Each structure stands twice: as structure tokens, then as C-alpha cells.
Chain A
Amino acid sequence: MEKELIKFMLNGEPVEVYNDPASSLLHLLREKFSLTGTKEGCGEGECGACTVLLDDLAVNSCLIPAGKVNGRSVETIEALSKDGGVDPIQEAFVEKGAVQCGFCTPGMVMSARALLKQNPDPDPEEIKMAISGNLCRCTGYKQIEAAILLAAGKINSK
């Protein structure tokens, strides 16, 4: 397994790592950077638990070859509470009871973040669409959708 130097922005900081460029971004994040907040639910892009932002767009990190992030910017769930604070999206998730087992939660939060970056005032339909690639078995999505709506309000009123 040949390794290559991969340089990219990770949660706002420049990083460099020697890694197999054909292994997944998900494994790179979890194994090389110990960023275990990004979860592996299927490894096939079918559940969204591994959602991270790549240049501000939600992507399945399990489907991204590590080499692809060279020169780009990756953001994981850990970026949202970097300085010990909590993001309004996370606050809203807790407030609305949107977290049950929590395994889909980091991916959901990242999909919500991608949505609100692009569309600060989404309607319920747009919210459903934005998380349609994130499976959740516990919640039936209702409290998650309510949380994202609440988060939009929180961010906009700031």
C-alpha cells in the first residue's frame, strides 16, 4: 500500500498526513486524526452517519478517497464545539429531543449545517430534503426537523 502526502484544511487548520490515497476520508479522519465523532454506519454511502463538509458541502466521507481532499477544506462534527462552546444547531437538537441513540446525530448535524450555510431560512420541505440522505432509526425524524427549524431561527436572530 503506497502512501502519499495529503495536505488539506481540517476544521480550520492546515494538516498534512501520509496515507493511502485510496482509503476513505472516513477512515483517515477516524484513524489518523482520532476524529471519531464521524460515524461509520454502512461504509457504502447509504446511511449518512459519516457526513462531513467538503468545501462546505455535505458529503459521505466513506465514499471519498482520501487523496481527493488534497488542497480542500474538510469540516467534521468536532469543529462545532472546538472552543468548548456549542453550536446553535447542537443546542436546538438537544432542546427538541432530536437525539436518541445518537449514532446518526453527528451526520445529521453536519447535514443541517450544510443546509443552513446555503439556505439560512429553509422551509420544512427543504429541511426534509437536506436530511434525506441521513438515515435515523430512532426518531422518525420529526424532532430532528423541528430542531433544524429552531436552529435556523436561533442563527438568524443572532
Chain B
Amino acid sequence: MPTGIVESPVKIDPRVAFQSPEVWAKVTGKAIYGGDLMLPGMLYGRILRSPHPHARIKKIDIKQASGLAGVRAVLTGSSIVQKPYGIVIDDELPLAEAVVRYIGDEVAAVAAVSYEQAAEAARLIRVEYEELPAVFDPAEALKKGAPQLHAKFPGNIAWERHLERGNCDQAFREADIVVENTFTVPPIHSTYLEPTVCLAVSDPYNGLILHTAVQSPDQVRTIVARVLDLPLSKVRVIGPVMGGGFGGRVYGNLKLYIIASLLAIRTGRPIKMQLTREEEFLVGRPLIGAELKLRMAVRSDGTILAREADIITDNGAYSAQAPWVSKTLSERNDSVYQFKAIKTKVRLVYTNKVPTGQYRAYGNQAANFATESLLDMAAAKLGFDPLEIRLKNCVRAGDVTVHGLQLKSCALADCLKAAAAEIGWHNRKEGRGYGISAAIHSSGSVVFDKNFRGAAALARLELDGRVSIFSGEQDYGQGAHATFTLIAARALGIPAELITIHTRDTLASPFSIGALGMRQTTIGGNAIRLAAEQLREKIVQTAADMVNEPVIFEGGSVKSASGQVIELPAIAFRYYSLTSGLTLVGEGKYVPAESAYDKSGYGNIAVTYSFAAHAAEVEVDKLTGEIIVHRIVAAHDSGRIINHLAALGQVYGGVTQGLGMSCFEGYLFEGGRVANASLADYRIPTSLDVPAIVPLFIEQDDPEGPYGAKGLGEIVQIPVLGAIANAIADTAGVRVTDLPITAEKVFLALSGWECEA
């Protein structure tokens, strides 16, 4: 196994390898995360959870718990005002009232002066349950007579979509070959290393302040205000440093925030609540599991004609973003190739298991695994080289895809060629398998809210001549602050060191959709660029007024036509003095063009699109089925790279997460119980498991993104799955269609043994 520390062939330009000064706080242990927060008089909250996958609550006795020393509040569903809520579907209550629907469902909550006392009090709450029949398998849940989870959703279907574009049946009639298979993907947890923490503070003057690190603080406060019936302006979210997000923290853990807020309001004391690592797995809203039945129609010349899909996604007991994720999972991947027709049926099904949500790439990676596997099966059947069939069919700049996406820039073919060349596609090593896979992802998705497609930012010149940027976008470790700093520095023409980015307080920053849909660089970055440009104009104007002659702003300082140098602090002070206290502020409003998507979702759904092709080189030990991934080449079209150091970090990290999902990770259930709710048993890759990773950036200007840039975060994970799956099949000669692809599964496929239960 090659184990050297491979330096990327990407040359890092030191001018674009900036890091936010926050890294110094992080590397010295001084950065404050949620778990580090303490307030005087703070109480600790604990939640009593359902031990049953499905049961009726007959009686809750809180007498003993309430009487325990140090206990300040015990809440149950019937002791609070309840309002159903959800992100897409209002199918949850803050605390279960009559029925619990999964192991982990929130039944009661306690606040006490110490964590231990709160935990003890939660243990002392007596709940009488009447167990109900439960259903764990989505296919079973769809059957007539299956236990029903929600009265409002008969048949257990939370959401469904039937979609046809083009004439699919005709395309299948025209096809020379049809390949089909069923692929399964288990729920996947983001596994951010920092467990979710929330510190809720409530007082009549300030209202409710939630100290918690989420990717979309404004969306969280909107929902919390709605559920608790508070004025929106009286709910504020302040983010400590975020210990990882990866999409799993877009809304954080809403239930935890709502319960902490209820306890804070009830007791008038700050409430700290933290999920244990086990709770993270039990209630942490993983990416939906899915079963994809796919058929693909291909002509003998390698032209891909159509794709038919019957997809069932496993919602668990409540739905979070699962409908949106199901939509992306069932659709986005279709825009990688020039499909003529598509027919898709996707059903999101309630089961008595962990409620689901989202993770990096919104299920696009699951679709990549399935489609790219199927495409290799088609290539094999036709005797086509997998690279050639992809080059023949992949989308190009100027294309409008089968779902109506308009590709203004697209270097996917170049990514495929570069990845293939670097992996040695035509120069293969003996005994190794090679696989390649391609991906598209929205860069700056605009479909989350029809009335809110873009982003806004403020750039403020401080009296000391420094510039503060206020944005509602979020840095959860991916380096958004550094990228924003570079964009603002470039727009203003001042050194990056003079700029500070403020994003974590909803009171100070403009409202934002948040860190999702690869919006940060494309949409948030554009807003910051515009804010900085406007501030720059204002600086020039104010300086010109000061010296009464034309000025130029260059190289960080302002010079008049006569050669006078006007320093930034002097300009700031002048405006402040003229206005008795105001500072110069640039406002940036980036509003992407109205999306043209119609009712069926056909049309342009993002500002632009990022592309990637990954190639993998693997070895399979035929004796044990052991998979040794040697190398992954990750070629990316993310437009112009703004920050090379951060971009490399995104690729290394995203590829590793892709490897995890391919070969290591996934929820294991025993009935409704999560069998692997720990970091020991939910296995993410360690340093010894990660292969050599070679990032390649195919840099081309994008007309929409700031300075030609497009998003990079989510897309990195997507093509890893197809590349590894195809490389394994290439060398093993057998194909595993259910993730994760483990040694055991490969071995069983090779040996033809029946797997025992």
C-alpha cells in the first residue's frame, strides 16, 4: 500500500493560501466551541427517550423526578404548549404526546443543577407504554396492513414524486441494450467530531438567545420562533466555533434547541444541553437510506438514451429535509450525461427508525454509486471502455440537461481525461482494478426558498481603518471565512490581514439561507464582493470630498491627483465625524436571475454547476475479499480556485468521506435499534485507511461565480463512490450493489456463498 505523504501536484500559490486568523485559536486550543460555554446559574438539561420503536404513552409519572434535589423543571408533552413542526413536513412535536415512533423519541425533559442530577431525574420518570406493532423495512411499510406511523400520511408515504421527461418508453424501445440493477445505501451520519451542544438563555428583555453552532442559524431561529410562538426579532442565534457540519448541521438538532428553549423559558435560567455520541447516532438525523431500482437504455454505439428509476427512501419516523434530499437523490445525477428521457418514481416512506435528514451532497453520492455502477455494466455489455462511454455522453458547456439545468461553464470532459491520465487508465498495473466516475452538483442552489434566492452582506470600514464583513453564511471548518476574506480583499484592494469576517450572530448579520447547496462561495461570496465594491466606492467618494480633488484607491491606500495620501482611518473618521457616529458601510445584494424552473422542477435550479471526475486504483485480496484502495485521483471543475490551501483540504476530506461511505460506514439496525451507535462501531476511516489522494483542478472561469469561482465542498464526495465501486468490480470481477462494499461482501460475491442471516 502506498503510504507516503503525497504532496499534490497542484502548486499552491501562497497569495491564495490564506487562512482565517481563527486557525490560531483552534490550533492552540483557545477556540470556544459549544461544549466550552458556561454561564452563571446555568442548569443542565437531559432528555428521556423512548425505549420502544412504536408505542402509545399511557401515563407519565414525574413525581419522583420532580422531587429530586437539584431538579428545577420536568417537562412532558402534556405540560407544554405543543405545535407540530418540521422543515418540509410538520410531522414532529417538541415532546411526544400520545405516541412514540422510534427508539430515541423525546418523551420528557429535565433541567437540574448538575448533569448527573439531570440524568438521575430523567431515569426516575416513570412512563407506562403500550407497545404497538412497528415497521422497519420501507418495503414492508408500503404494504397493505402495515403499521401506520402518521394518521396524516396513509400508507406511510411521507412524500412522493412521479416524473417523466422526454419519452422514456420510446427510448427503451429504441435501445440496443438495457441494463438494470437494484442498489442499496444505508443511512449515513455526518459524524462531525463535535457532539451537538446548545446553551439556551431566555429573559424578557433580550428574548431567547441560542448559543449553538449550525449551518443555517437564520432558518433555525425562524423555526424555533414559530414553534415557541415568539416574535422572530426576539430569537437570536449566536454560533460558537463549529466542530464540523457536512450538511448534518444545516438545522443542527432542532428538537434539542426547542427543548432547551422550553426549559430556559420555564426556569428563567440558562440551559445547557449536549448530545452524547450515542445520542448523535440515535437522533442526529443521518442521510436517508435508499433503495434504487434502475434501468438504463443504451444504443450499441454507446449513446445513453434513457434511465428509469423506482426509488424508495427510508424516512425513519420524522422527516426533516428528507423530501428535498429524496428529490436531489432521484434527479441531480441525471444531469451528468445527455439523457434523452427520464422516468422516475420516488417514494419517501415512514418507518419506526431514526428520523433522517441530510449529509454532504444531498444524496447525490448515493445516486452516483448506483448510476455509475450501472453505466459500467452497460459499457461491459457493449465492450466499451468505461472512460470512452463517459466521454461520449457527458454534458458540456452550453448544454441544457434533461432536467433543464443550463450549464454556463462545464469542464467535465477535461476532468474525465485528466483523472484517467493521472491514474494511469491506459497504463495499468498488474493485479489492480481501475474505476472512473463523474458528477455534477449545484453551485449556489436557489431553490430552497422561491422568494430568497441569493444573499446579502455588509462591509463596514472601522475607525481604525480595518474592514468588518457581516454575512449570514457559515464557516464550519471548510474555510468559508478565509475565502470570504480573500474575496473582500480583492474587491477592496487591501491586504487580507485588515479584514475580519463576522458570521455567527443573527443579530449582526443579514438574513441568510445558510451553508448548504454549495452556496457559500458562489452566492455568499458574490454578496461579499458586491458589498466590498460598494464600500470601495464610498471610500473613494468620501476621500475625494475630503481633499476636494479626484482620488484613486490603489494598493491599499487612497491617493489624490496632487499626490496626497489619505489613510483609511482618516477617511473613516471623517465620515463618522460628519454623521456624528455612522461608519461607511457597503451593502452587497446578490440576487441570482429568476429561476425558470416550472412546476415539475424543470429548469435552472442553481447559479451555476460544479463538476468532477474521480478515478480509483484498487486491489482486492481474493482470499479474504479485502479491499485495498491505493489511489484516488480527484479532478474538479470548480471554476477558478480562490484559496488553494483550503481547496486541497476540501478535496482530501471529501474523498475520505467518500471512501468512508463506499467501504466503511452505514447504520446497522437490529429491528428498530441502532446496533452501531458509537464511533467504535460506526467506522469512519482512520489515518491508516486513507489512500493516496491526488487533487487536480481544471480551472476555467465561470461567468457567474465571484472571480470565476464555483463551489467545491459537497461535490468532492460524490464521484468517489462510483469510482471505487467500479474499480473493485474491475479487478474482482463481481459487483457489490449494497453499500458499504466490505471485504465480506466482496468475498461472498466471489465465492458464491449464500450469506447466512
Chains A and B touch each other in the complex, with CB atoms below 8 Å apart: yes
Give chain A's interface residues, CB within 8 Å of chain B: 30, 35-44, 46-47, 49, 76-78, 80-81, 86, 90, 93-94, 96-97, 99-106, 109, 124-125, 127-129, 131-146, 149
B649 engages A39 (CB within 8 Å): no
B27 engages A101 (CB within 8 Å): no
B687 engages A145 (CB within 8 Å): yes
Knowing A106-B29, A131-B687, A139-B649 are in contact, say whether A46-B3 is a contact too (CB < 8 A). Answer: no
Stretch among B187-195, B435-443, B588-596 lining the A interface: B187-195
A81 engages B246 (CB within 8 Å): no
- Could you give, for residues 23-45 of chain B, a 1 whenever the CB lies within 8 Å of some chain A CB and a 0 otherwise? 11111111111011000000000
CB distance from A52 to the nearest CB of B (A): 11
A135 engages B241 (CB within 8 Å): no
CB distance from A100 to the nearest CB of B (A): 4
Contacts of B686 in A (CB 8 A): 132-133, 135
Partner of B688, one of A41, A76, A132: A132
Contacts of B3 in A (CB 8 A): 124-125, 128
Knowing A49-B193, A137-B246 are in contact, say whether A146-B7 is a contact too (CB < 8 A). Answer: yes
Question: What's the Cα separation between A145 and B51 when bound, in Å?
Answer: 43
In the complex, what residue of chain B is closest to A35 when comparing beta carbons? B29
- Could you give, for residues 3-20 of chain B, a 1 whenever the CB lies within 8 Å of some chain A CB and a 0 otherwise? 111110000000001010
Question: What's the Cα separation between A137 and B23 when bound, in Å?
Answer: 17
Stretch among B142-150, B653-661, B666-674 lining the A interface: B653-661
Question: What's the Cα separation between A119 and B190 when bound, in Å?
Answer: 34
Partner of B24, one of A37, A94, A133, A143: A94
- Could you give, for residues 332-374 of chain B, a 1 whenever the CB lies within 8 Å of some chain A CB and a 0 otherwise? 0000000000000000000000000000000000000000000
Partner of B679, one of A103, A124, A135, A139: A135
> Interface of chain B, helix or strand or loop or mixed?
loop
Knowing A42-B679, A127-B5, A132-B686 are in contact, say whether A81-B653 is a contact too (CB < 8 A). Answer: no
Contacts of A149 in B (CB 8 A): 5
Besides A102-B23, A137-B192, 20 other CB < 8 A contacts?
A: A36-B36, A44-B679, A90-B24, A97-B646, A99-B26, A101-B244, A101-B476, A101-B477, A102-B22, A102-B477, A109-B27, A128-B688, A133-B686, A138-B653, A139-B652, A139-B653, A140-B652, A140-B654, A140-B655, A145-B687
The 6 A-B pairs at the shortest CB distance, nearest first, are namely: A37-B29, A101-B477, A102-B26, A103-B243, A140-B656, A140-B652
B477 engages A46 (CB within 8 Å): no
Partner of B653, one of A43, A76, A80, A137: A137
B246 engages A97 (CB within 8 Å): no
23 A-B interface contacts by CB (under 8 A) = A37-B29, A41-B195, A42-B679, A46-B678, A47-B679, A90-B28, A99-B23, A99-B26, A101-B243, A101-B245, A102-B22, A102-B27, A102-B243, A103-B33, A103-B193, A103-B243, A124-B4, A127-B5, A135-B686, A139-B653, A140-B690, A142-B648, A142-B690
In the complex, what residue of chain B is closest to A85 when comparing beta carbons? B28
| Contact of B277 with A by CB under 8 A | yes
Question: What's the Cα separation between A144 and B191 when bound, in Å?
Answer: 19
Interface core residue of A100, A135, A145 (most chain B CB under 10 Å): A100
